Copies of this chain bind each other. A is one copy, B any other.
Amino acid sequence: MQQITMGQAIQQALAEEMRRDASVFLAGEGIGVGIHESPVMPTFGLLREFGPARVKDTPVSEAAIAGLAVGASVLGLRPVVEVMFNPFFTLASDQIVNHAAKLRYLSGGKSSFPLVVRVKTGAGFGAGCQHSHNLEAWAAHCPGLKVVMPGTAADAKGLLKSAIRDDNPVVFFEDMGLFFFPSSVPEDDYTIPIGVADIKRPGRDVTVVTWSKMLGVAFKAAAALSKEGIETEILDLRTLLPLDKEAVIKSVQKTGRLVILHEATRTGGFGGEIAALAADDAFSYLKAPVKRVTAPDIPVPFSPPLEQFYIPNENKLIEAIKSIVL
């Protein structure tokens, strides 16, 4: 199997879908000629292959970019547009939340809006809080949207293909921390269904529900705990909306213990939803308090020691797990 990064996996998904379907086009800031043409970036090389009619470098105009997707999709195109950094989701949010998500409902089911908004996200690259702010919980609170947030390159490829083929608007969050490290990705044309979580590591003692870049943190913690005889089940949500409730409940039924791990700040984060689900539908199986390991409630700071303090790590996860397992 090929060893590629998540950036490259996304690139492959985009290229393959564009070859397959002429109605797919891309738009966004710097997605054609970029300021650093790195081959691991998601849109690298696509302008060259597909030309400027299908790879639209846009002005710095997030609302218009999102609206472009809404309008183009209702006429049957399949736009894939990019929000360069998650904090700029705010600028596109009226179009995404009040339009993409609601116009089908408002039409009484007559129209559909098959669009994808790719949002680059994640802290850890020293750009500060106006470039780093994980807001997947915002999108997941908006009925009419689907919300995907892959944690591996292979998932990213299969999920992005599903997103592009989906007839509903999909917000697809890509943690930039995953753009640079290679892992195994199938070469063929495969899809991974939206709305299905994945047990990335089976375990008996505790369930860790996580998504996106934090998957790596979960693995590190699980490996360390395993040496101490604690077996962690890692459930990668992959999709936040629609939420795979079954998978969460089933895992908690099995382990009786739940820790939720996400990079976004704690209060109001999507971890609350998972905890609420467990506290209702898996209540009788819970043997211990439900823990959340998240960023603290602060903006993402710049200076390296501060930023590292912000990002949840395996030590914090191990501590949380031990607090309920031991």
Contact = CB atoms under 8 A, between A and B. Distances in A.
Interface in A266-306: 267-276, 278-281, 283-284, 286, 288-292, 297-299, 301
A117 interface: no
Contacts of A128: 106
A275 B270 contact: no
Interface stretch (A18-26, A83-91, A185-193): A83-91
Contacts of A281: 289
Nearest to A105: B299
B267 A141 contact: yes
Nearest to A278: B279
A97 B271 CA distance: 20
Contacts of A94: 87-88, 90-91
A315 interface: no
Interface in A251-277: 260, 264-265, 267-276
Of A130, A143, A281, which is in contact with the most chain B CB atoms at under 10 Å from its CB? A143
A219 B299 CA distance: 38
A101 interface: yes
A269 B129 CA distance: 24
Most B CB within 10 A of own CB, among A137, A265, A269: A137
A243 interface: yes
A98 interface: yes
A141 B273 CA distance: 13
A316 interface: no
Interface residues of A, number: 56
Contacts of A240: 268
A98 B280 contact: no
A283 B276 contact: no
Contact of A106 (B265, B284, B290, B299): B299
A240 B272 CA distance: 14
A283 B286 contact: yes
A259 B94 CA distance: 32
Interface in A110-154: 128-130, 133, 135, 137-138, 140-144
A246 to B, nearest CB: 15
Contact of A137 (B102, B105, B141, B291): B141
A280 B273 contact: no
B105 A129 contact: yes
Please list the 4 inter-chain residue pairs (A to B) with the smallest Cβ-Cβ separation, ordered nearest first. Answer: A141-B268, A272-B272, A275-B276, A283-B289
Given A143-B299, A283-B288, 6 more contacts: A87-B94, A137-B268, A141-B264, A143-B265, A272-B273, A272-B274
22 contacts: A90-B94, A90-B98, A91-B94, A102-B130, A106-B130, A106-B299, A137-B141, A137-B268, A138-B138, A138-B268, A140-B267, A140-B268, A143-B267, A241-B267, A241-B268, A243-B267, A272-B276, A279-B279, A280-B290, A280-B292, A283-B286, A283-B288
